[in-house]
Amino acid sequence: MSHPTPSLSHFKRSDYQHIYEPAEDTFLFLDALEKEQGFLTDLNPTVCLEIGSGSGCVSTFLATLIGGSGTLFLTTDINPRANAATLSTAHHNHIPLDALRCDLLPSLRHTIDILLFNPPYVVTPSSEVGTHSIVASWAGGIDGREVIDRVLPLVDGALSKRSVFYMVVVNENRPEEIAERMRMCGFGMEVVLGRRAGNEGLKILKFARQA
Ligand X SMILES: C[S@@+](CC[C@H](N)C(=O)[O-])C[C@H]1O[C@@H](n2cnc3c(N)ncnc32)[C@H](O)[C@@H]1O
DSSP symbol at 22 = P
Report in angstroms how near the CB of residue 99 gets to ligand X at its nearest. Answer: 11
204 and 191 in contact (C-beta within 8 Å)? yes
Region from 18-26, 92-100, 107-115, 179-187 binding ligand X, contact rule CB under 6 A: 18-26
When asked if residue 175 is in the footprint of ligand X (CB under 6 A), the reply is: no
Closer residue to ligand X, CB minimum distance, 23 or 209? 23
Q: How many residues bind ligand X (CB under 6 A)?
A: 23
* Closest to 86 in 3D by CA, of 148, 96, 46, 41: 96
**Contacts for 144-148: CB closer than 8 Å, 24+ residues apart:** 144/120, 144/170, 144/172, 144/173, 145/173, 145/174, 147/104, 147/119, 147/120, 148/119, 148/121, 148/173, 148/178
Q: Are 158 and 132 contacting, i.e. CB atoms less than 8 angstroms apart?
A: no
**11, 16, 29, 187: which one binds ligand X (CB under 6 A):** 29
What residues contact residue 199 under an 8 Å CB cut-off, 6+ apart? none
Report the Cα 204 to chain-centroid distance in Å.
Answer: 10
Nearer to ligand X, 57 or 90 (CB): 57
Q: Enter the DSSP assignment of 189.
A: E
Q: Which of 42, 103, 177, 180 binds ligand X (CB under 6 A)?
A: 103
Q: Output 61 or 187, the one with its CB closest to ligand X.
A: 61
Binding track, positions 131-170, relative to ligand X; x by CB under 6 A: -----xx---------x-----------------------
* Contact (Cβ atoms closer than 8 angstroms) between residue 102 and residue 78: yes
Site string for ligand X, 38-67 (x = CB under 6 A): -------------xxxxx-xx---------
Nearest distance from C-beta of residue 91 to ligand X, angstroms: 17
Ramachandran assignment for 146, one of left (phi > 0), alpha (psi -120 to 50 degrees), beta (any other): alpha
Residue in the shown chain whose Cβ atom is closest to ligand X: 52
Nearest distance, CB of residue 211 and ligand X, angstroms: 30
Establish if 82 lies at the interface with ligand X (CB under 6 A). yes
Binding site residues, ligand X, CB under 6 A: 20, 22, 26, 29, 51-55, 57-58, 76-79, 82, 103-104, 118, 120, 136-137, 147
